[in-house]
Amino acid sequence: MKTIYNFSAGPAVLPKPVLEKVQEELLNYRNSGMSVLELSHRSPWFEDIISQAEKRLRELMDIPENYQVLFLQGGASLQFSMLPLNLAKNQKAYYVNTGSWSKKAISEAKKIADVQVETLASSEDEHFTYIPKIDPATIDQDAAYVHITTNNTIEGTVYTDLPETGKVPLVADMSSNILSAPYDVRKFGVIYAGAQKNIGPAGLTVVIIRDDLINRSDTISAMLDYKIQADNHSLYNTPPTFSIYLAKLVLEWLQELGGVPAIEQLNRKKARLLYEAIDQSDLFQSPIRIADRSIMNIPFITGNKEVDAQFNKEAQAAGFENLKGHRSVGGMRASLYNAFPIEGVYDLIDFMHKFEKNVGGKKTNDIHYQNI
């Protein structure tokens, strides 16, 4: 079988040792006589799985005791509604608009009648190619929270410095860069992340929430109530058991590598190699402001739709899967999540060099996404 490199933005590549462990345990988990897929979520086997998953995550992110860790369903998209329902009733909620997922979060929050949604800053004026600065003086200190998307999966931007929000809790959708680099959890009121990029397979959402932000409300459905979920230790209903099991294995794998500082060093090397290849190329270019470039999701373009299409076609034939850029922006996008091997970056760069030599071409003056 030829080597395949999966650059998918999610569901994303998983560590090979983890997949091999799953294969080993799939039919008979820990001599239970049952597949891990068949275990009751009330069984001692699964109780150990979910407690170990939480323990590993707490260790990797240094999560303080006054924060709850929840393993939920519905993806990060459900948090777009769950968050304002729990935290912002009859209050103002600030959002920073840095791309497609921020816009969706804003749209969902606006559907809740008792929440006053305000866009604090936006980079839409330049097609989301940078992270906007925030003046702390513009933040009403009685607001419920300030929401950011730490890494913009589609656009390829990342926060290198967190905004100052005073006493207003900072809330982050960290779906596409959680565990890729260290974050001080104490600077956030809530962190949430869909698991299908750096934690595990699709179907699981992780929420890290400070205790003082968990409030019961009789007007919220039990499934959407953070307090009910916390009181039931994420077992109010049947959780995504297999996804949690696989997440536990990924977290163990990351700890064995040396934790978040070790994977950050590798991630930055992978990203640096690819950005250098793009910047030194006479054909490829990055549309993102250098200071705000993501190390997880790296978009690049040629400035010519036909050439982009040709590159994507030839790349896929050569074993580079899911390099095509998001349909909303076009071009190409390499997602280099934690489990993506550095060998894939080297091979992609070699392929880019060969393609450029065969096709030729020069960079255009317009470095914006061509489909906008």
Q: What pLDDT is attached to residue 329?
A: 85
Nearest to 8 by CA among 228, 187, 198: 198
pLDDT tens, residue order, the chain (372 aa): 678 999 999 999 999 999 999 999 999 999 999 999 999 999 999 999 999 999 999 999 999 999 999 999 999 999 999 999 999 999 999 999 999 999 999 999 999 989 999 999 999 999 999 999 999 999 999 999 999 999 999 999 999 999 999 999 999 999 999 999 999 999 999 999 999 999 999 999 999 999 999 975 667 899 999 999 999 999 999 999 999 999 999 999 999 999 999 999 999 999 999 999 999 999 999 999 999 999 999 999 999 999 999 999 999 999 999 999 988 788 999 999 999 999 999 999 999 999 999 987 666 544 444 433
CATH number of 17-256: 3.40.640.10
pLDDT of residue 113: 83
DSSP 210-249: EGGG----TTS-GGG-HHHHHHTTT-SS---HHHHHHHHH
Q: Is the peptide bond before 163 cis (omega within 30 degrees of 0)?
A: no
d(CA 252, CA 274): 28
Q: Where in the chain is the domain with CATH 3.40.640.10?
A: 17-256
Catalytic annotation on 197? yes
CATH T-level fold of 258-359: Aspartate Aminotransferase, domain 1 (3.90.1150)
pLDDT value of residue 80: 98
List where CATH 3.90.1150.10 sits in the chain.
258-359
Look up residue 260 and give its DSSP letter. H
Q: Catalytic residue at 92?
A: no
Given the residues 2, 45, 55, 101, select the one marked as catalytic: 101
Examine the residue annotation and report whether 253 is marked as an active-site residue of this protein: no
The per-residue pLDDT for 217 is: 64
Q: What is the CA radius of gyration of the chain?
A: 21
- The vertex-147 CA angle with 141 and 150, nearest 5°, equals 130
What is the pLDDT at residue 370?
A: 43
Sign of CA dihedral 276, 281, 284, 290: positive
CA 33 to chain centre: 35
The residue behind tokens 């897929």 is: 37
**Cβ 363 vs Cβ 285: under 8 Å:** yes
Q: 315 vs 268, 310, 337, 356, CA distance in Å?
A: 23, 8, 19, 12
320 pairs with which residues across the strands?
A: 5
Phi, psi of 330 (to 5 degrees): 75, -165
173, 225, 292, 308: the catalytic one is: 173
Q: Given 140, 197, 282, 292, which residue is catalytic?
A: 197
Which residue type occupies 68?
Answer: Q
Candidates 200, 210, 201, 207; CA nearest to 234 is 207
